[in-house]
Amino acid sequence: MPQRRRRNVRPEDTWLLHNASDPQISPDGTRIAYTVASRNQDKDRLDSQVWVSGLDGSAARSFTNGTRSHSPRWSPDGRSLAFVSNRGDRSQLYVASLDGGDPQRLTRARHGVGQPAWSPDGQRIAYVAAVGEETPHEDKSPTDRSAPRVIRDLYFRFDGTGMYDGRRRHVFSIDVASGEAQQLTDGDWNDAAPSWSPDGTKLVFSSDRSAERRDRLAHPDVWVVGAKGGRVRRLTRGRGSATGPRFSPDGEWVAFVGHEYPDQETARNLHLMVVASRGPLRAPRSLSADLDRSPLGAFGPPVQTFAWLPDSQGLVFLGEDRGSTVLFRADLSGGAGKRLLEGDRTIDSLTLAPDGRRVAFSSSWSSAFSEIWTASLSRSASPRAVSDLNADLRARVQLSLTERMTYRSFDGLEVEAFVLHPRGARRKRRPLVLHIHGGPHAAHPSAYSPIYFQSLVAAGYVVLLPNPRGSSSYGEDFSRACVGDWGGGDYRDLMAGVDRMVELGIADPERLYVGGYSYGGYMSSWIVGQTDRFRAAAIGAPLSNLTSAFSTGDIPHVLADELGGTPLAVPEAYVRRSPLTYLENAKTPVQLAHWEGDLRCPIGQSEEVFSALKLRGVEVEMLRYPGGSHVGRTPSQDIDSTRRTLDWYAAHAPAATRASGS
């Protein structure tokens, strides 16, 4: 039977995309469970289910139903799976036998639950649930609902969460047989990521219980509580941050991702750290410092990014390296970490087989769709795909490869970039899209769906994805190089990349376009105020006026750390580094895209760009999407924004190019 000819990627292919995450190998090492997210076109939302298969990928099946099931966790005997599912009554904890039958619902928490963890004996499951009042206006009379919300804390909201209210997240455990739940922690703070000691007598968790917690970014510590509750004990020294703590198999150590910096400068490396689980309070020790790379931290959904080896003498962990994710090994004895798995991939989470010989992970790339993979740690064999969730999409579309290149910037600094080329002869100069990542301490190409970049390539653009100074995954000095210098060396690094593409005969200097989101939106706004080399700009969720952004965003300390103080302390820095200051020079047509629910880069930042350009007579339009957050939006909105970006660039091609269709 002849093979179907594959076509170019389209924005609408987003509906066909599946994302795999949070793999969990069974205790006997023969099966794997993981979460699969899919786009529901009828409901215009992201649904998720738990899947189970053999570790070799055999007998893959959806294990759950409903709209949103996730966080699969094997019982210690491997005969059952616990998972969290929303079946019309918030997210609750369920347990289902691998032999079949209806799942058993364990919890009936008013505000839902998350982050499940089995006790070693399989009799109890720990989880996190919110307690307290949902909102101060809930169940009030119309008169009471019109009352003001009284704000006394600097951190009173968070992007994707909204306004903080009276609820606080605490650790619970529930008896699987009887369904009897017990609250283990309490207080006016939030607890997260519970994990059991090997003997089942204690749990570790992370929590910021400092007096300053309401007026600064979160600085969680590692805490220990007894399996029956009671007094908690802190294992870290209150000097930094700690997430995702886990006991070693022998119970002597607790590992976590964090740091002990006195400030919260986001440009500095995180560390894989260990601290003794018993005895007097001691300084944690970094196992990753010699690598000069940050391990991945589970700051979003609670997934595993490191795992103890069975002998308790070392760990495997995920770390950033030159735009990719690498699997490292670190030993308690010290020394530089060992690279176990390299290659061009973005790994989101991992799980280690009980014998410590094989790892499974979820992976994607700008040229590869998301799947679950396994790899041996005892030999240099290539990873093998466990899932085949995107087989239909791969059969339909042709993906352009992502290539690495390096170039020298204005001061001799070597900068790395990723390039995607349209299919066809490369000797012909092509239109170029310079796409700038967010952060600024992030890196291309991991933060974006492959559909976006592949849609640009399919439309005929060469896509340039540089990692200028300030990007993560190239070492701490490189990451810190833009602190206090936003729009300085990083801007010149980006332009040097464009110059190099023109010099190589790849980019047509008359058909240059620029875009980016978040910090990429900031830099795109900066660029249109500095140069008119680009025919059009597509700017997403920018920071444009850093003074107003400091006052209206949800994490003001980040701007203070990046710029050297608050707007009251260093007002000239905020003016000098704001794109708005230079928009009087702008001539480039600009399209702005922003979500009304964005609290990280509030929509007023786009409104300031729009007004400034409109009053100057510069062509500008604004896509104002309802709802959403800084990173949250519906699938249809995602598709629409990609399609409108393509249309914006095409509408501003040279007249001769539009006429010829090339």
Round the CA-based radius of gyration of the chain to a whole number and report it: 25
Residue 518 is among the residues annotated as catalytic for this protein:
yes
**Residue whose entry in the numeric block shows the structure tokens 């940050």:** 294
Q: Is 584 helix (H, G, I), strand (E, B) or coil?
A: helix
Q: Which amino acid is at 172?
A: F
The continuous run of DSSP H or E covering 129 comes out as strand 124-131
Q: Are 33 and 69 in contact (CB under 8 A)?
A: no
> Do strands 430-436 and 462-467 pair parallel, antiparallel, or not at all (unpaired)?
parallel
DSSP string for residues in 378-433: SS-PPPEE---TTHHHHHHBPPPPEEEEEEE-TTS-EEEEEEE--SS-SSS-EEEE
Beta bridge partners of 40: 45
- Spatial separation of the C-alpha atoms in residues 306 and 617, rounded to whole Å: 53
Cis status, amide bond into 445, omega within 30 of 0? yes
- Spatial separation of the C-alpha atoms in residues 154 and 214, rounded to whole Å: 6
Q: Are 642 and 649 in contact (CB under 8 A)?
A: no
As given in the structure block, the two tokens for residue 377 are: 């740690």
Backbone angles phi, psi at 502, to 5 degrees: -70, -45
Q: Which amino acid is at 547?
A: T
CA proximity to 386, closest of 56, 63, 28, 61: 56
Q: Which of 18, 219, 630, 652 is catalytic?
A: 630
Other C-beta atoms within 10 Å of 615: how many?
A: 10
Backbone angles phi, psi at 391, to 5 degrees: -60, -45
CA proximity to 207, closest of 112, 134, 128, 285: 128
Ramachandran region, residue 279 (left: φ > 0; alpha: ψ -120 to 50; beta: rest): left
Backbone angles phi, psi at 60, to 5 degrees: -70, 135
As given in the structure block, the two tokens for residue 79 are: 């005969």
The Cα diameter of the chain in Å comes to: 76
- Spatial separation of the C-alpha atoms in residues 92 and 20, rounded to whole Å: 21
Q: Which residues contact 617 (CB under 8 A, 6 or more apart)?
A: none
Q: Which of 518, 524, 525, 606 is catalytic?
A: 518
Beta bridge partners of 285: 274
**Residue whose entry in the numeric block shows the structure tokens 């600024």:** 440
Question: With the CA atoms of 507, 656, 521 and 476 taken in that order, what torsion angle do they form, in degrees rounded to the nearest 10?
Answer: 0
HSE, side-chain direction, 13 A CA sphere, residue 211: 0
- Spatial separation of the C-alpha atoms in residues 630 and 549, rounded to whole Å: 14
Active-site residues: which are they?
Answer: 518, 630
